[in-house]
Each structure stands twice: as structure tokens, then as C-alpha cells.
């Protein structure tokens, strides 16, 4: 088993760099670096059958993953999550073509596990001793878990209103966790400063080339699931955009391997009304998004006011004929419940936002019942328990003869 990783390439200015030394962003222009593979050589050796025979985690794609020596892989069994037919939820929406990718089943309860498994593995291979991350919560939990497993010191910086569960995870995994006044971009400034002054390796979204290599496996799994075809549309709750950018890259790589054709899904960005920099730029016809001021939403994973990969997200959306749309916090809360009650999926608010977006896009005719559409349920609502407020339950006394009269 060998990786066909060849080099790093800047997605903006095209400069190339060695993939065997530590890099963050492009030293020339400051933009996002992409891992490149010798896909021509990989094509001669790798087949879907080989991948299928391997253990069910995202490292079964080893040849097109960025780690050279398998001993450096730090895995907790991430990836290979179920792609569920929406079932009764689909029936209610009049479609048999709606699917939910349940990423909440990943280690640490979100798809951040994929990205951080890849980043920590590569960092381990390159001899990194300390990693730092700004995070709304899920990325911090994932880095804490994989860092613990690898024996790498983890520093994490989170907005002060980070959900309680993520704080508990940092504690339990032994990460050095700090709260920051402000939002994730403010935490990001601290991390960049700390990386310079204290020598941490900065694993901020898309400022490090390998998290998206983990996230691209979501795209590989979709192609495999649909027998080397792609769905008509993918709705993705977009924060920093690692998932969209990673899946878009995965589809290109699969085409170069000769496993899929040129057809692509419509890549659809969903953001919250209170924090929608990508939607705003999409509507304005711009390639870069401005800082979204006063960002607020109950969905922490998409409360990202500025994204270094804005142009990569927007390029993918436009080239695919997709779109970008906002949903309200009220719609998100409603659809968290609906996903649970009609599909049995305990979705995080970001995941529920994809359902809200789907409904809107159906209502305006952008999507039809026959469009095979995948909703990304990116995390588990276990992480966002404070958003769920059940009424107090009736208390029954089993010794009382009339106990069941109250039921």
C-alpha cells in the first residue's frame, strides 16, 4: 500500500511545494494549498475492488490520501458513515430521491473527525509536536481526540459561548483549551500569532492542506455508494467550506482515475441568515466574500464570518450550477425536530439547515422530486443538547394503583 501523493500546489497562484515538509498557506500569495497525487500512476494500480476489500474507515483510500507510511495513520474508525434514504421524511416531501449522509456517527460526533484524522496523521509523519486550532467546538473536539491518540499537544481556542459538551470533551481528552472573546475568526488571529511566537502548527480550516483530504472522502463515499455515479445535488452547511472544497476535489480525482464521468452534482451552500458571507458573495457575483459583521446563529459550525477558501467554495458552486441560500434559526430548530421525527436522525442544527434549504429549493423549483439529493447531517445533536428543550415529563408512582390512568 503506498500513497501517490506528489506535491502541494497553490490553488490561487499555481506555485508548487514539497509535500514532505511542513506547510500551511502558500508562502507566495497566502492562499490555500492543495495536495496533488500522481493519479496517472495510481490509475494503473488502484481499483474499486481493492478499496472495497479494506477495513471500513476513510483510510481505505490510502493511495489518494496524504500519508506516506501507514504506521503514521491516526485513526479512530472515522468515515464510512451511512447514507440513509430519507424514508418517511421523503414521503412527506413527495420524493423518493432524498438521502441523508449521517456524519454524526463519526468519532467525536461530527465530520470534523475526517479532517482532523488526516491532518493529525500527516502532522505526526512530519514530526509536529504541538498543534493549535480555532474552533466553534467540533474541530476542537476532533483535534483533541486525535492529538491524544498521536501524543501531540493540542491547543484550542473557542468562542466563549461554545456548547458545553465540547468543553467537556477538551477536558477529557486533555487538550489545553481557552475561551476567546469574539468569534472563530478572532480565535483564528490568536492562533496565527501563537503559531509565530510559540511554534505551534496552525490547523485552521484550509490554512493547512490536509484537513480537506480527510473531508474529500465524503465525496468518494457518495460516488461509491451510487455505484460510481454522483447524485444530482448536494446540500452542504458551509462554514469554512472544507467539505465542499474537498468533495469537489474528490470528484476530479475520481474522474482522473477513470472511475466516474464528467457529470457533477449541483453543489449547494446553505448558511444561516445571521451569518451568510458566501451567500452574499454568490448573489453579488463576487469571487471573494467580505467579512460578515455581527455574525449570529444558533448553529455554531456555520457561524464563520470569513473564509480563506471563499473563492474555492464559490468556484465549485458556480461551476456545478449550484446555488447558495440562507435559512433562519427558526427553520433550523423546526427541522432538527423533523429530521428526528420523520427520519430518525438526531441532527445538529447545521445538518437540519440542509433540510430547511431543501424545502426552500423545492418550493422555488430549483430542485425537483426526481433530483437525487444528498443532505449532509454533519454532526450529532448530542453536541448541541442545550438547543433541545423538552417539557418536564410526568412522574409516575408505580406503587399507586392509578399510575397508568395518567398515561
Contacts with ligand PLP, residue ranges (CB under 6 A): 110, 112, 138, 205, 237-243, 301-302, 348, 350, 378-379
Report the interhelical angle of 310-319 vs 242-257 (nearest 10°): 50
CA 41 to CA 20: how far, in whole Å? 19
What residues from 147 to 166 belong to the interface with Zn ion (CB under 5 A)?
none
Instruction: Identify whether the C-beta of residue 360 lies closer than 8 Å to the C-beta of residue 105.
Output: no
Strand pairing report for 373-377 and 98-102: parallel
Shortest Å distance, C-beta 11 to Zn ion: 8
Shortest Å distance, C-beta 116 to ligand PLP: 11
- Residue number, 3 or 205, with CB nearest to ligand PLP: 205
Binding region for Zn ion (CB under 5 A) out of 14-22, 200-208, 237-245, 294-302 = 14-22
**Which does residue 29 bind out of ligand PLP, Zn ion, none, counting CB within 5 to 8 angstroms by kind?**
Zn ion
- Residue number, 162 or 302, with CB nearest to ligand PLP: 302
Shortest Å distance, C-beta 211 to ligand PLP: 8
Q: What's the number of CA atoms in the CB half-sphere (13 Å) around residue 15?
A: 13
**Which does residue 28 bind out of ligand PLP, Zn ion, none, counting CB within 5 to 8 angstroms by kind?**
Zn ion
**Which does residue 340 bind out of Zn ion, ligand PLP, none, counting CB within 5 to 8 angstroms by kind?**
none
Cβ neighbours of residue 157 closer than 8 Å, sequence gap 6 or more? 132, 133, 134, 135, 177, 178, 179, 180, 187, 190, 191
Cβ neighbours of residue 103 closer than 8 Å, sequence gap 6 or more? 81, 110, 111, 218, 351, 376, 377, 378, 379
Shortest Å distance, C-beta 123 to ligand PLP: 18
Binding region for Zn ion (CB under 5 A) out of 27-35, 78-86, 88-96, 379-387 = 27-35
What residues from 28 to 47 belong to the interface with Zn ion (CB under 5 A)?
28-29
**Binds Zn ion (CB under 5 A): choice among 3, 4, 5, 10:** 10
Shortest Å distance, C-beta 349 to ligand PLP: 8
**Which does residue 237 bind out of ligand PLP, Zn ion, none, counting CB within 5 to 8 angstroms by kind?**
ligand PLP
Instruction: Identify whether the C-beta of residue 303 lies closer than 8 Å to the C-beta of residue 184.
Output: yes
**Which does residue 350 bind out of Zn ion, ligand PLP, none, counting CB within 5 to 8 angstroms by kind?**
ligand PLP
The β-bridge partners of 99 are 85, 374
CA 48 to CA 114: how far, in whole Å? 20
Alpha-carbon torsion 366, 369, 371, 376, what sign? positive
> Closest Cα partner for 101 from 113, 87, 85?
85
**Residue 26 binds to Zn ion (criterion: CB under 5 A):** yes
Amino acid at each position: 500500500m503506498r500513497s501517490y501523493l506528489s506535491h502541494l500546489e497553490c490553488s490561487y497562484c499555481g506555485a508548487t511545494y514539497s509535500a514532505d515538509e511542513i506547510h500551511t498557506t502558500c508562502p507566495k500569495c497566502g492562499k490555500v494549498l492543495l495536495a496533488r497525487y500522481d493519479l496517472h500512476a495510481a490509475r494503473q494500480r488502484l481499483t474499486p475492488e481493492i478499496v472495497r476489500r479494506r477495513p471500513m474507515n476513510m483510510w481505505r483510500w490510502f493511495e489518494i490520501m496524504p500519508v506516506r507510511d501507514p504506521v503514521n495513520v491516526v485513526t479512530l474508525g472515522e468515515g464510512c458513515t451511512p447514507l440513509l434514504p430519507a424514508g418517511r421524511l421523503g414521503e412527506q416531501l413527495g420524493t423518493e430521491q432524498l438521502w441523508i449522509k449521517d456524519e454524526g456517527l463519526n468519532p467525536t460526533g461530527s465530520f470534523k473527525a475526517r479532517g482532523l484524522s488526516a491532518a493529525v496523521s500527516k502532522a505526526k509523519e512530519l514530526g509536529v509536536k504541538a498543534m493549535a486550532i480555532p474552533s466553534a467546538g467540533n474541530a476542537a473536539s476532533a483535534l483533541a481526540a486525535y492529538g491524544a491518540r498521536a501524543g501531540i499537544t493540542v491547543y484550542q481556542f473557542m468562542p466563549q459561548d461554545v456548547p458545553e459538551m465540547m468543553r467537556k470533551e477538551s477536558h477529557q481528552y486533555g487538550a489545553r483549551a481557552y475561551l476567546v472573546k469574539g468569534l472563530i475568526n478572532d480565535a483564528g488571529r490568536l492562533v496565527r500569532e501563537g503559531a509565530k511566537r510559540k511554534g505551534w502548527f496552525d490547523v485552521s480550516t484550509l490554512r493547512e492542506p490536509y484537513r480537506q483530504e480527510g473531508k474529500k472522502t465524503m465525496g468518494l463515499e457518495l460516488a461509491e455508494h451510487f455505484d460510481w455515479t454522483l447524485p444530482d445535488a448536494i446540500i452542504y452547511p458551509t462554514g469554512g467550506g472544507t467539505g465542499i472544497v474537498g468533495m469537489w476535489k474528490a470528484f476530479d480525482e475520481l474522474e482522473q482515475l477513470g472511475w466516474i464521468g464528467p457529470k457533477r452534482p449541483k453543489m449547494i451552500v446553505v448558511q444561516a441568515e445571521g451569518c451568510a458571507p458566501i451567500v452574499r458573495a454568490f448573489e453579488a457575483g463576487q469571487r471573494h466574500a467580505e467579512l460578515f459583521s455581527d455574525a449570529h446563529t444558533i448553529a455554531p459550525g456555520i457561524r464563520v464570518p470569513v473564509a480563506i477558501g471563499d473563492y474555492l467554495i464559490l468556484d465549485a458552486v458556480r461551476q456545478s450550477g449550484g446555488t447558495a441560500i440562507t435559512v433562519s434559526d427558526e427553520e433550523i430548530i423546526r427541522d432538527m425536530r423533523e429530521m428526528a421525527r420523520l427520519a430518525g436522525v438526531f441532527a445538529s442544527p447545521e445538518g437540519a439547515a440542509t433540510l430547511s434549504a431543501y424545502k426552500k429549493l423545492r418550493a422555488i423549483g430549483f430542485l425537483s422530486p426526481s433530483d437525487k439529493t444528498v443532505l449532509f447531517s454533519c454532526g450529532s445533536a448530542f453536541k448541541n443538547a442545550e438547543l433541545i428543550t423538552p417539557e418536564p415529563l410526568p412522574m409516575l408512582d408505580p406503587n399507586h394503583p392509578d399510575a397508568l390512568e395518567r398515561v
